[in-house]
Homo-oligomer: A and B are copies of this chain.
Amino acid sequence: MLKVGYIGLGLMGKPIARNILKAGFPLVVHNRSREKVEELVKEGAIPAFSPAEVASQVDVVFTNLPDSPDVEQIVLGENGILQGGKSGLIFVDNSTIKPGMARHIGKLLQDKGILALDAPVSGGDIGAINGTLTIMVGGPVEAVNLVLPIFKVIGKTITHIGECGTGQIAKAANQIMVAAQMVAMGELMIFAQKAGADPVKVIEAIRGGAAQCWTLDVKPPRLFSGNRQPGFKASMQSKDLNIIIETAKEYGIPLPSCAIDNQLYQSMLQNNMGDLDNSAIISVLETLSNEKFRTQSVGS
């Protein structure tokens, strides 16, 4: 059975690592804050004290970190995965980072005989806990096939897109649509309220038609009840939009609508709302419209 390492035990990483452990894979874990390591050690994981130490004793090492520089540091930095990993190791990154960085890291690892997969996920902490994530994979097919038994315990939809970096491109594409829906939902709810229609009735009317989406299924009840807590943090949505805009610039792709969404999320950060849910983008539209979105009694 494959011996697995997991580095980065945050909101997503910890439940993913736990599912790998529960499925019976021997698991070595590392995290900056040690309480999370201890938690998984109590459940049977083996602790390590650096990325190199994890990489030196496993067949497959996963990372799950906030942003591109974090992954760069953990892989290429001192006591990093590149330093500790032997030829034949497979590196799998569950973080959402720049496609260009994923390719850069993949190339350097390959030179040392380590196969790299970028495997960002979608589905939130609920999907991570339930093992029902969507996993978008870029990298060599032989590595995908070897890691598949592990992917199957953490995700439901696993798609191999293409070469190294294409998993991150698929995740960026995903986030173009998610951000567009979040902003449109905020706009249409403020529009409905200020123009005199009950937003609860409007959502009820439109959610089964051509506007149907996961966003309209899941987020309005939370906003109606006044709940703007994450879920998926606006700061992370903003980070992902920055990745998209930077990547689009690199390839020469004007994205007029996504660029506006990026600016609106930047406004959330400027107003210290980065820790709210990504659906709380409605706050920016409230400010623009000078219209406070009212808590609604659903079913009235």
Interface residues of A (CB under 8 A from B): 99, 122-124, 134, 136, 138, 156-157, 159-163, 165-166, 169-170, 172-181, 183-185, 187-192, 194-198, 201-202, 204-206, 208-216, 232, 244, 247-248, 251-258, 260-261, 263-264, 285, 288-291
CB-based contact B258/A187 at 8 Å: yes
Nearest-neighbor residue (CB-CB) of A261 within chain B: B257
CA distance A216 to B176 in the complex (A): 13
7 A-B contact pairs sorted by A residue (CB < 8 Å): A166-B201, A176-B187, A177-B184, A187-B256, A194-B253, A254-B289, A256-B264
CA distance A204 to B167 in the complex (A): 12
CB-based contact B253/A166 at 8 Å: no
CB-based contact A291/B253 at 8 Å: yes
What number of copies of this chain does the assembly contain? 2
Chain B residues within 8 Å of A288, by CB: 254, 256
**Inter-chain pairs besides A136-B206, A169-B195, A254-B285, 5 sampled, C-beta below 8 Å:** A163-B196, A174-B210, A177-B206, A191-B247, A213-B215
Chain B residues within 8 Å of A196, by CB: 162-163, 165-166, 169
Contact of A169 among B161, B202, B216, B252 (CB under 8 A): B202
Chain B residues within 8 Å of A176, by CB: 184, 187-188, 191
Chain B residues within 8 Å of A194, by CB: 251-253
Contact of A157 among B136, B209, B213, B247 (CB under 8 A): B209
Contact of A252 among B160, B188, B257, B290 (CB under 8 A): B290
CB-based contact A201/B122 at 8 Å: no
Closest 6 CB pairs of A and B: A180-B184, A213-B213, A159-B205, A177-B211, A134-B209, A173-B188
Given contacts A191-B253, A202-B173, A290-B252, contact A161 B197 (CB under 8 A): yes
Chain B residues within 8 Å of A180, by CB: 180-181, 183-184, 257
Chain B residues within 8 Å of A215, by CB: 210, 213
